[in-house]
Amino acid sequence: MDTHGLPGAELVEQGVRDLREGVETIESLLVSLAAPALRSVGLAVPTPFPDPELKLYRLLADEHGDGAHSRYNSLVRRIVSFRRAGACVR
């Protein structure tokens, strides 16, 4: 799937790379969380990490403190936008 120009593509591309390397990052956990939706639009997603929601939130809390919830929601909105745009392109 060509992700060029899709909203949030940089997050998804980095997340897939990190997931392939087995590195738990904000991006790889976000891709893990959205793996079924991303696969449904034709993106090849490696095996996701278990419990990505909790791990993602913990990483965000470490980085953003009280702003973790807002950042989490923002990232989820970006991945939803990516999936929707990917469905339109497909």
pLDDT tens for the chain, residues 1 to 90: 788 889 999 999 999 999 999 999 999 999 999 999 999 999 999 999 999 999 999 999 999 999 999 999 999 999 999 999 998 887
Asked if residue 24 belongs to a domain, the reply is: yes
DSSP 14-38: HHHHHHHHT---HHHHHHHHTHHHH
Domain count, the chain: 1
Asked if residue 90 belongs to a domain, the reply is: no
Quote the domain boundaries for residue 74: 9-84
Asked if residue 37 belongs to a domain, the reply is: yes
DSSP 53-70: HHHHHHHHHHHHGGGHHH
Answer whether 4's CB lies under 8 Å from 53's CB. Answer: no
Asked if residue 4 belongs to a domain, the reply is: no
Asked if residue 75 belongs to a domain, the reply is: yes
